[in-house]
Chain A
């Protein structure tokens, strides 16, 4: 009994200290100050429909809202939506909006804005996400804060795509614009923690805080201004940070710079995983690679831990299936890529009739030919370059010859995407979200991004069934099966998920780090609570 009492008292004391710490931290936060953020180039557009690059997201997501945002665990959660309700058969998606929000010109934010945004997006096909509206039968707005989407069939990826990627625009402004596609939007009226007050192309974009923002702990952002300043060269950007010209890098910084800044007491370095992954893909049109045994043997021969340790100097996570561990809930824990085991890899090959019959150190296929394969990759990417070198040794250890073909990025993309002329490609995907949708666009036999020419009936069925599953459970069951079958089929070997480093000056505090270089430290959820010490 005494023990319990002691623990209770201890618990109370700890929580008291914790709260006082919290109060103390909050007291420290004060209003004012300008945060200078380093970016690499101009945003592609200030038009929230048209912008489709990272820089556009960094700036525009602080000005225009999305229904959903990603939390620190990579889960999409309501932002200006209060909640999302999906009917049992999955065909009706109801969005309840937060009440009392207004656009920066004082006009109330209503369901009409959300409905209008989707309609304009779809009608003019303004962005890739317009295509999710192919599955929408009708849209209703029963009241000012409710939007109901009636879908033709259940489509779990619908809200995750539209809600997360599409910035909502004010109807009263955009309905009067004649040509939305060419609308430069130089004086945006949005709804977010900040508003754009000044910009000079090629130089800077200045945002000022708004007077009221629901997501800021103090009711409005602490920072008076944030200025995005352009430094095209990342080494110069790091120098500008050290010098104090900028206080934060929106772009991820190289490993060496991160190491140096970590040991500098004036800076903090935060790390966040990519929402994509790096992989090698096999071309099924290749006479050796169409053999299941060769793909399995290669997967077993690759030392992925070594790649992370040496090519990424530890800044990476292992990935075990086709889906990134960043989306923990969706990954099937039973699906696992083979462990690194060169002896076993050699055995797989020898059991399938691969032997070095001519004694030149390279295995011969049952057809008698030497198994020589070419690896294409973007030669300017330092991480891929180092990864490729490790792959050569891994292949060599089991008697396969891998020849490196480093290419300039557009040549690489052309060979892969247009000509499909390669044996193995080493590349990465920047952002893969909505697994039920993206697995389909990458691996379905009809998908344009299926450069491998993979054609598996089993995989196709799982992907189709997951994509249009009537509920989460059915979707997950199909994704689980997909992942198991994916390991059996091995159309690609997923290598790693890169960890990005971002640095900020300790003159500021309150940062939160969100997944990937799309969000990092400049997500509106983070910037709306940052303050100058």
Chain B
């Protein structure tokens, strides 16, 4: 077991190095450089060259790459071109909000999605099954900004029960602040839940359909176990295993949703930070953000694998 974890960590490290290198290269392959975005008649060529030098972009690409790795080994994520502050400081101020938003979305999606999937799979082909399918397909196909703006228009403006933007209203304290934070979370979590629900529902449904045709289910029924027990103890427990894998992988995909959702809801998370940094070609911020993302996906994968082995005794890690 320990040997396995060690091997997985080693492989994770290699993946991380590759991911970081690709990010580094892709950013520099983008047309132009951060100063061309700032094109301004007030900035002459000398000022532009000074900026490029300050950003470390006048050095050869390979030197920049080596310097970046050297800096990373020291635990230094660099210095934001735009905000002129350490990248780690910018990311740390944003990360808790994204973790809160994503964590809550995962929980809500799981608690709604899994039972819905179980139900649809159990009643395969019924009108309920078709309705659930249609609903989740709508969620997966909808354009996030449209959904966000529509929700904001109805529940933020027409029936003003939820706030329009931000993580909380400035100037509040204590319980009032906590309640306010929750109020601000409702619409973004709802948006993300509608979008990611399909992942759980469809996976769980397909998995249930498979499991329900297994011999051990027939055996359980033949033994005279009541239907609820068959469903929840024998079927759901086994059908959950592939869903767990999917949940781990979903983390990576959720980031793309976070970029758009956090922007529409003015939520101060990492997703919105990425959106802003792309527009301004802030390489260090983007490198830092993708490093954190790659790291979290790798860690989630390892956790998922371990969990998988725990849930399915047939899987041997070594």
Contact = CB atoms under 8 A, between A and B. Distances in A.
A binds B: yes
Interface of B: 30-33, 36-48, 50, 54, 79, 82-85, 90, 93-94, 97, 145, 149, 152-153, 156-157, 160, 163-168, 170-171, 263-266, 268-269, 272-273, 275-276, 279, 281
Given A44-B82, A236-B265, A414-B32, 4 more contacts: A129-B42, A200-B170, A413-B31, A448-B45
A182 B44 CA distance: 22
B31 A44 contact: no
A409 interface: yes
B84 A448 contact: no
A230 B266 contact: yes
Contact of A44 (B37, B83, B167): B83
Contact of A413 (B36, B263, B264): B36
Contacts of A198: 170
Nearest to A427: B39
Contacts of B272: 202, 232
B170 A438 contact: no
A438 B41 contact: yes
Interface string A383-418: 000000000000000000000000011110111111
Contact of B36 (A232, A242, A410): A410
Contact of B149 (A44, A232, A236): A236
Nearest to A52: B38
Given A239-B152, A410-B36, A448-B45, A232 B275 contact: yes
A232 B266 contact: yes
Contact of B84 (A131, A182, A416): A182
Contacts of B54: 181
Given A202-B93, A236-B165, A449 B41 contact: yes
B55 to A, nearest CB: 12
A89 interface: no
A257 to B, nearest CB: 13
- Closest A-B pairs by Cβ, 8 of them: A202-B268, A414-B32, A448-B45, A414-B31, A413-B36, A240-B164, A128-B47, A411-B31
B31 to A, nearest CB: 4
Interface of A: 41-42, 44-45, 47, 50, 52, 125, 127-131, 161, 165, 181-182, 184, 198, 200-204, 206, 227, 229-233, 235-237, 239-240, 242-243, 245, 408-411, 413-418, 429-432, 438, 441-442, 447-449
A500 to B, nearest CB: 18
Given A44-B82, A239-B153, A128 B31 contact: no
A206 B84 contact: no
Interface of A is mostly: mixed
B30 A184 contact: no
Contacts of A410: 30-32, 36-37, 281
A243 B39 contact: no
A41 B274 CA distance: 12
A236 B264 contact: yes
A126 B52 CA distance: 13
Contact of B83 (A45, A127, A165, A227): A45
Contacts of A184: 84-85
B39 A441 contact: no
A127 B268 CA distance: 29
B41 A441 contact: yes
Contacts of B165: 229-231, 236-237, 240, 245
B156 A239 contact: yes
Nearest to B164: A240
B83 A448 contact: no
B170 A229 contact: yes
Given A201-B93, A233-B263, A245 B42 contact: no
A231 B266 contact: yes
B142 to A, nearest CB: 17
Nearest to B85: A184
20 contacts: A42-B83, A128-B40, A128-B42, A130-B47, A165-B42, A181-B54, A181-B84, A202-B97, A202-B273, A204-B170, A229-B170, A230-B266, A230-B268, A232-B275, A236-B165, A240-B266, A413-B37, A417-B39, A418-B32, A448-B48
A223 to B, nearest CB: 14
B33 to A, nearest CB: 8
Contacts of B170: 198, 200, 203-204, 206, 227, 229
Contacts of A242: 157
Contacts of A50: 84
B203 to A, nearest CB: 32
B36 A236 contact: no
Contact of B90 (A128, A201, A449): A201
Nearest to B84: A45
Contacts of A447: 44
A275 B39 CA distance: 15
A418 B35 CA distance: 11
B41 A201 contact: no
A428 to B, nearest CB: 11
Contact of B163 (A42, A127, A245): A245
Contact of B160 (A47, A233, A243, A411): A243
Nearest to A442: B41
A411 B263 CA distance: 23
Contact of A125 (B50, B156, B276): B50
A235 B149 contact: yes
A233 B275 CA distance: 11
A235 to B, nearest CB: 6
B47, B160, B163, B263: residue with the most chain A Cβ atoms closer than 10 Å: B47
A431 B276 contact: no
B48 A245 contact: no
A181 B45 CA distance: 20
B140 to A, nearest CB: 23
A129, A240, A410: residue with the most chain B Cβ atoms closer than 10 Å: A410
Nearest to B282: A44
Contacts of B266: 229-233, 236, 240
A237 B40 CA distance: 27
B268 A203 contact: yes
Contacts of B281: 410
